[in-house]
Amino acid sequence: MALENFTEQERQILSKYVTNLDSDVYCVKNLPEEVVAVLFAYVSRSNNTFRQNLLKLLGSGEISISSRDSTYSDDIYSEDATAKAKKTAKEFHEKWVVGYGHASVAEHADVKIAIDSLSNVATKMVEHNRLGRYTEKSSRYVKFSKDNYYTPPKIARDESFSKKYKEACDHLLDTYDDLYDKIVAYVMERMPQEKGVSDGAYKSSVKAKTCDVVRYLLPASTITSVGVSMNARALAYSIKQLLSSPLEEFQELGQKIKTEAELICPALLKYAEFDPMMHDVPLAARKLADFVFVGTEIEKPRRPVELVHYDKDVVDKIAASILYKHSNLPYHQVYERVQKMSSQEKEKIFDTYHLSKGKFNIPLEEFEHGNFTFDMIMDFGAFRDVQRHRTCIQSDQLITADHGYDTPEDIIKAGCQKQYQAAMEKAAQAYNAIRKKYPHEAQYVVPNGYRKRVLITWDLRGLENFIRLRSSPHGHESYRRIAQQTYDELARISPLLVKYLSVDKNEYYLGRLKSEVAKHEKIDELKKKYGEQAVVTEGNQ
């Protein structure tokens, strides 16, 4: 494509809003999010380039960043100019997005939200949206304050439960605080500081291991922080979910997010409101489930990870999709031919598709043909990490104390089991008392160590990512086990498929601690070189 022939004045103006003027690939910058959405919307009905349309918008088009009528005036960064841009963008979106239903336009407006105070219960709702990006405060690297937890207003107002709730949360966090020092001493005894290891790196690695152990005691009410990036269309849906929840924390959080996000995208979030269906259907479904299963006892899980449904012909489906893509035949012909192939012939197809698979490669798209549904039970702390894998379908149950709790081996070896059990059981007593009247609010008093059920449907591509990442040596032992058991379930039904998955089935303790030391040594080096802003965090997948 021939590049545009801009005047010097046009180049000067455009340079403020695009990353380059001499390539046909560039980023847009320094524009209000809703103006970006308008710019991108124009591409569907214009022969112009994005830069040409931007000049039109900046000048005498539907949107003028200038507060005066003259083309390309100098005050495009002024407060009045920005206000005018947002106003005219709002009018555009009300016409095309709201009026004509072109909701896809909203996907080009991206909103970044910082939430400094929400419970661990609320984080799971916020992070449920598969189209968002999230970074959450880590219970692995941060020691939480023992007084910093959320109390649901309904419980706070009900004297028959408020004291019991407070005593349980206080006991959990007091135990967390007390065991923290005991586990630090235990870890240091098991792994003394080696010669040449800096004090800072050693202390950081000991802290990470200690937090790994004591985080089982943190109640779901613990206050945390999360950063969210989401396009306006997905955000509108997320806000509706929050506003339609039976939990007051969610409703208040949804309104706060909407208020702040409307400063960025007012028109695109105009109808992000309480949705009667989102509110009524879950409550009705819960009543129905209670009626259907009244008197039914909960069976013990057959396996922590159980493959409950899968496509029996998944190998043939994936092999056929690979050959289909690289042929010109209809699918039924390809599939029928694959069905007649020997196991060795099918394996050759899979091997061909993995010729160049390296450490950082992911399986190609054809591995998404074929689904696997797992019923999983894991401690809530592990679920908080597993839930971040959003290239799947998740249906998770409420947090309860019905399935018992896990006790870290280090708690037992450090001689802290009785103290740990007392706090966990006190929390269960509070939960069982509160749930009779407030089943949703009762979740807040349940600590991370209690087990939670979740139904997840993955394709093979998503499973490869989950198993490889969550079984890695740096992972927490609880979700490493889940990843390893997921691999085992797949191996049970298809040795061929797991041949192409990466899993680490080794057990680590001192090895993991030493790798933590090495990581924190590297962080110290980066801080010395680049300053305190050089921070290394675990990625949210």
Each residue of 442-478: pLDDT tens digit?
Answer: 999 999 999 999 999 999 989 999 999 999 888 889 9
Portion of the chain with pLDDT greater than 70, in percent: 81
Residues 38 and 96 sit within 8 Å (Cβ to Cβ): no
232-243 helix and 248-261 helix, angle to the nearest 10 degrees: 150
pLDDT tens, position by position, 417-432: 999 999 999 999 999 9
Let me know whether 121 and 242 are in one domain. yes
Question: Taking 70 as the threshold, does the pLDDT of residue 64 lie above it?
Answer: no
Q: For the ranges 41-55, 66-80, 500-514, which has the lowest average pLDDT?
A: 66-80
Whichever domain contains 170, its CATH number is 3.30.70.3180
Let me know whether 291 and 347 are in one domain. no
Question: Taking 90 as the threshold, does the pLDDT of residue 248 lie above it?
Answer: yes
Q: For the ranges 217-226, 257-266, 270-279, which has the lowest average pLDDT?
A: 257-266
Give the pLDDT score at 536: 44
Give the pLDDT score at 319: 95
Q: Look up tokens 């110290």; give the residue.
A: 524
Q: Count Cα atoms within 13 angstroms, Cβ side, for 158.
A: 15
Strand order, beta sheet including 451-459: 305-310, 371-379, 451-459, 393-396
Question: Taking 80 as the threshold, does the pLDDT of residue 128 lie above it?
Answer: yes
Give the pLDDT score at 39: 73
Angle at 112 between CA 270 and CA 262, to 5 degrees: 20
Residue 2 lies in a domain: no
Question: Taking 90 as the threshold, does the pLDDT of residue 188 lie above it?
Answer: yes
User: What is the chain's mean pLDDT, rounded?
Assistant: 84
Let me know whether 90 and 119 are in one domain. no
pLDDT tens, position by position, 14-45: 999 888 888 767 777 888 777 777 777 666 56
Give the pLDDT score at 500: 85
Let me know whether 96 and 152 are in one domain. no
Give the torsion sign (CA, 88, 94, 96, 99): negative
Phi, psi of 373 (to 5 degrees): -110, 125
Note the Cα 166 to chain centre separation in Å.
29
Residue 533 lies in a domain: no
What is the three-class DSSP state of 76? coil
Angle at 172 between CA 123 and CA 179, to 5 degrees: 110
Token pair belonging to 490:
């797949």
Give the pLDDT score at 66: 40
Q: For the ranges 37-41, 77-81, 115-119, 432-436, which has the lowest average pLDDT?
A: 77-81
Residue 329 lies in a domain: yes
Give the pLDDT score at 265: 76
Give the pLDDT score at 54: 85
Residues 477 and 471 sit within 8 Å (Cβ to Cβ): no
Let me know whether 94 and 118 are in one domain. no
Phi, psi of 224 (to 5 degrees): -135, -170
Question: Taking 60 as the threshold, does the pLDDT of residue 211 lie above it?
Answer: yes
Residue 218 lies in a domain: yes
Residues 226 and 139 sit within 8 Å (Cβ to Cβ): no
Give the pLDDT score at 246: 96
| Cα distances (Å, whole numbers) of residue 186 to 207, 474, 517, 528 | 12, 20, 17, 30
Let me know whether 425 and 328 are in one domain. no
Give the pLDDT score at 28: 77
Residue 540 lies in a domain: no
Indicate the pTM of the whole model.
0.81
Give the pLDDT score at 534: 44
Give the pLDDT score at 31: 80
Question: Taking 70 as the threshold, does the pLDDT of residue 214 lie above it?
Answer: yes
Residue 301 lies in a domain: no
199-214 helix and 510-530 helix, angle to the nearest 10 degrees: 130
Residue 535 lies in a domain: no
Cα first-last separation, the chain? 37
Let me know whether 436 and 362 are in one domain. no
Q: For the ranges 193-202, 408-417, 457-466, which has the lowest average pLDDT?
A: 193-202
Question: Taking 50 as the threshold, does the pLDDT of residue 77 lie above it?
Answer: no
Residue 536 lies in a domain: no
Number of domains in the chain: 3
- The residue from 108, 127, 147 where one domain ends is 108
pLDDT band at 522 (very low <50, low <70, confident <90, very high): low
Let me know whether 87 and 216 are in one domain. no
Residues 243 and 279 sit within 8 Å (Cβ to Cβ): no
Question: Taking 90 as the threshold, does the pLDDT of residue 72 lie above it?
Answer: no
Burial class (CB in 10 A: 0-12, 13-18, 19+), 534: middle
Let me know whether 62 and 73 are in one domain. yes
Token pair belonging to 538:
């675990």
Let me know whether 100 and 206 are in one domain. no
Let me know whether 353 and 377 are in one domain. no
Let me know whether 196 and 124 are in one domain. yes
| pLDDT top residue among 532 and 335 | 335
Question: Taking 70 as the threshold, does the pLDDT of residue 102 lie above it?
Answer: no
pLDDT tens, position by position, 157-187: 999 999 999 999 999 999 999 999 999 999 9
Across residues 75-104, what is the average pLDDT?
Answer: 51
Whole-angstrom distance, CA of residue 36 vs CA of residue 87? 13
Q: Which of 245, 240, 278 is nearest to 258 (CA)?
A: 240
Question: Taking 60 as the threshold, does the pLDDT of residue 320 lie above it?
Answer: yes
| Structural domain containing residue 92 | 8-108
- The residue from 108, 123, 141 where one domain ends is 108
Question: Taking 50 as the threshold, does the pLDDT of residue 307 lie above it?
Answer: yes
- How is 455-480 classified by DSSP, letter by letter? EEEEEHHHHHHHHHHHTSTTS-HHHH
Give the pLDDT score at 541: 39
| pLDDT top residue among 219 and 21 | 219
